[in-house]
């Protein structure tokens, strides 16, 4: 019974963590500009994210250790320190972008500038983390995240041509604006394969006390949860492709994206978009803030756990407190959430080798995983992921510059 509940909760949490400001921005931009032509990037990213999430869960369930823990132990602090600093930076940028997303959703609903909302939002997020346990966060993220299914409902309502959808699942070259096309493809991949997903997931497995008997659940949660998350993102690409693309509306600010639901839900589509965006970003910012605290605490070997009282793991709580405060203050300066998201997604894509290469090495360590290490197929898949990561590392920043961000 307990495992059944955890299975359901795991799937829902995976959906909650999957869909965030990054997916929202990149999917609506891709759909508005290239209709369904970039669905292949979503498919590729989802396969990669399923494989890496499954590995991080397996590592935690078998070795009782998370990725930052084994990374420091295996590579030593001198090698791990560089990637660790970049990871902290990416986490901070993602927290800022998610807080920006919630604040912008509130701006859409109230008309009051997102700059004014950023600090109160940050304080509320912090209070929630400070007062609640891991299970409470897991449950609230999971249940509230279901509202984002509205994108799938809207996509079905629009009756998109099936042949066009299938054609979009195969990579094809754009007829014009190649730089933007590849920038959006990299953005979609960067939004999907966000490092926090793996650090949060493996730490969550430890918080939920997974052991080897959870390996089956881990496989189902990673495949089903990520696929459902991808379905929501696909829904948004399709809706943007059906609503914004024919009118030639490019998503240069979140305001334009907010109209994607107005045809399927005429009276409350705008508000529904804002609420979905706010809730998706809220779920994500909770997970990213915890992921930051997990990564730092585990790297330094501190006591950690969201289920503990903050005074029992003061340094863990201090990390997310400082992270949320810094990110909120950054957003009060008036940085455009959309632009920040694009840069963050490009940085995510750029640092994928840092995320993927450790998997290749750690998942073959017999001391950690015994007979549960990667097989030939697993290693082959991880090798391909590392290759793709290296390509993304090389192209992401030039594309941001060429594509105009």
Partner 1 sequence: MHVIRELLDMQIVDRDDEHVGRVDGIVAELRNGEPPVVVSLELGFVTIARRIHRGLEAVAERMHKRWSVRRSARYRIPWSDVMEVNTHHVRIDVRAEETVAFDWER
Contacting positions for partner 1 (CB under 8 A): 63-65, 69, 72-73, 76-78, 81, 300-304, 311-315, 318, 367-368
The three state secondary structure string of 35-102 is: CCCCHHHHHHHHHHHHHHHHHHHHHHHHHCCCHHHHHHHHHHHHHHHHHHHHHHHHHHHHHHHHHHHH
Smallest distance from the beta carbon of 368 to partner 1, in angstroms? 8
Tell me how far, at minimum, the Cβ of 300 lies from partner 1, in Å: 6
Q: How far is the CB of 93 from partner 1 (least distance, A)?
A: 23
Concatenated DSSP letters of 265-324: STTTHHHHHHHHHHHHHHHHHHHHHHHHHHHHHHHHT----TTS-TTTTHHHHHHHHHHH
C-beta closer to partner 1: residue 27 or 368: 368
Question: Alpha-carbon distance 40 to 184, whole Å?
Answer: 12
CB-nearer residue toward partner 1: 63 or 396: 63
For residue 200, which of 125, 293, 272 has the smallest C-alpha distance? 293
Quote the least distance from Cβ 291 to partner 1, whole Å: 18
Of 167 and 314, which CB lies nearer to partner 1 in the complex structure? 314
Closest distance of CB 78 from partner 1, Å: 6
One DSSP character per residue, 225-272 reads IHHHHHHHHHHHHHHHHHHTTTTT---SSHHHHTTTTTTTSTTTHHHH
Give me the phi and psi of 30, to 5 degrees please: -65, -45
Nearer to partner 1, 68 or 168 (CB): 68
Closest distance of CB 64 from partner 1, Å: 8
Give 197 or 319: the residue with its C-beta nearer to partner 1.
319
Nearer to partner 1, 318 or 397 (CB): 318
């Amino acid at each position: 019974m307990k495992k059944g509940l955890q299975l359901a909760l795991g799937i829902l949490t995976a959906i909650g963590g999957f869909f965030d400001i990054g997916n929202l921005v990149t999917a609506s931009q891709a759909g508005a500009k290239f209709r369904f032509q970039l669905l292949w990037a979503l498919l590729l990213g989802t396969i990669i994210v399923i494989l890496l999430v499954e590995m991080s869960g397996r590592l935690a369930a078998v070795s009782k250790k998370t990725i930052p823990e084994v990374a420091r132990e295996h590579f030593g602090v001198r090698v791990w320190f560089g990637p660790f600093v970049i990871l902290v930076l990416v986490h901070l940028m993602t927290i800022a972008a998610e807080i920006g997303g919630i604040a912008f959703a509130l701006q859409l609903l109230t008309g009051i500038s997102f700059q004014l909302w950023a600090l109160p939002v940050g304080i509320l997020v912090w209070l929630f983390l400070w007062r609640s346990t891991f299970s409470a966060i897991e449950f609230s993220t999971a249940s509230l995240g279901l509202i984002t299914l509205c994108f799938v409902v809207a996509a079905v309502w629009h009756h998109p041509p099936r042949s066009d959808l299938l054609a979009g699942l195969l990579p094809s070259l754009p007829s014009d604006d190649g730089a933007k096309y590849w920038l959006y493809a990299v953005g979609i991949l960067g939004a999907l394969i966000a490092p926090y997903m793996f650090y949060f997931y493996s730490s969550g497995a430890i918080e939920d006390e997974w052991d080897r008997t959870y390996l089956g659940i881990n496989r189902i949660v990673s495949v089903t949860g990520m696929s459902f998350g991808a379905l929501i993102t696909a829904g948004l690409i399709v809706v943007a492709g059906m609503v914004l693309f024919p009118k030639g509306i490019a998503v240069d600010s979140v305001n334009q994206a907010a109209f994607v639901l107005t045809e399927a839900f005429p009276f409350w589509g705008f508000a529904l978009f804002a609420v979905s965006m706010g809730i998706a970003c809220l779920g994500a910012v909770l997970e990213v803030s915890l992921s930051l605290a997990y990564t730092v605490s585990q790297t330094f070997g501190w006591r950690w756990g969201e289920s503990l009282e903050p005074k029992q793991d003061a340094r863990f709580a201090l990390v997310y407190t400082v992270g949320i405060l810094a990110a909120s203050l950054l957003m009060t300066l008036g940085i455009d959430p959309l632009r920040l998201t694009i840069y963050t997604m490009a940085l995510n894509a750029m640092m994928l080798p840092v995320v993927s290469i450790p998997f290749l090495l750690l998942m073959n360590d017999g001391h950690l995983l015994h007979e549960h290490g990667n097989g030939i197929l697993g290693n082959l898949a991880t090798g391909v992921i590392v290759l793709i990561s290296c390509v993304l590392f090389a192209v992401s920043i030039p594309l941001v510059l060429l594509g105009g961000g």
